[in-house]
Amino acid sequence: MDFIGPLLLAVATLLILLVSGNNAQACIGNLVGARVVRTRTALLIEIAGVSLGLLFQGTSMTTAAGHLASSLSSQTVLIVLTITLTLFVVAHFARLPLSLTHILPALLAGVALAFTSYFFLMILSWMAAPVAALVATPLITRLIGRSGTSDFWAKVEVYKVLLILVSFLFAFTLGANTIGLIVAVEGFGGLAVPLAIVGVVVGTFFLSAGEIRRVSADMFELGYSNALSSMLTSAILVEASTLAGIPMANTMVQNTAVFGAGLSYKTRLFSAKSFFLVALSWIAFPAAGVAAGVLIALV
118 or 220: CB nearest another protein? 220
Q: Binding residue for another protein (CB under 8 A) from 29, 33, 105, 175? A: 33
Q: Pattern of binders to another protein over 144-183, x per CB under 8 A?
A: -x----xxxxxxxx--xx----------------------
- Residue 225 to residue 133: CA distance in whole angstroms: 15
Q: How far is the CA of 125 from the CAs of 1, 64, 238, 242, 266, in angstroms?
A: 42, 13, 10, 11, 30
**What's the start-to-end Cα distance of the chain, in Å?**
26
User: Which of 260, 283, 254 is closest to 272 using CA atoms?
Assistant: 260
Is position 56 an interface residue for another protein (rule: CB under 8 A)? no
> For another protein, how many residues bind (rule: CB under 8 A)?
25
Burial of 82 (0-12, 13-18, 19+ CB in 10 A): middle
Is position 222 an interface residue for another protein (rule: CB under 8 A)? yes
Q: What is the DSSP string of 120-138?
A: HHHHHHHHHHHHHHHHHHH
Q: Pattern of binders to another protein over 35-54, x per CB under 8 A?
A: xxx-----------------
Interface stretch with another protein, choices 64-72, 116-124, 222-230, 231-239 (CB under 8 A) = 222-230
Residue 29 C-alpha from the chain's centroid: 13
- Residue 20 to residue 201: CA distance in whole angstroms: 8
Q: Binding residue for another protein (CB under 8 A) from 225, 241, 242, 251? A: 225
Interface stretch with another protein, choices 58-66, 127-135, 143-151, 174-182 (CB under 8 A) = 143-151
CB of 209 to another protein, least distance (A): 17
Q: Binding residue for another protein (CB under 8 A) from 223, 279, 287, 296? A: 223
Burial of 188 (0-12, 13-18, 19+ CB in 10 A): middle
216 or 255: CB nearest another protein? 216
156 or 280: CB nearest another protein? 156
Query: By the 8 A CB rule, do 293 and 106 touch?
Result: yes
Total Cβ atoms within 10 A of residue 235: 26
66 or 210: CB nearest another protein? 210
The residues of the shown chain that bind another protein, judged by CB under 8 A, are 33-37, 145, 150-157, 160-161, 216-217, 220-226
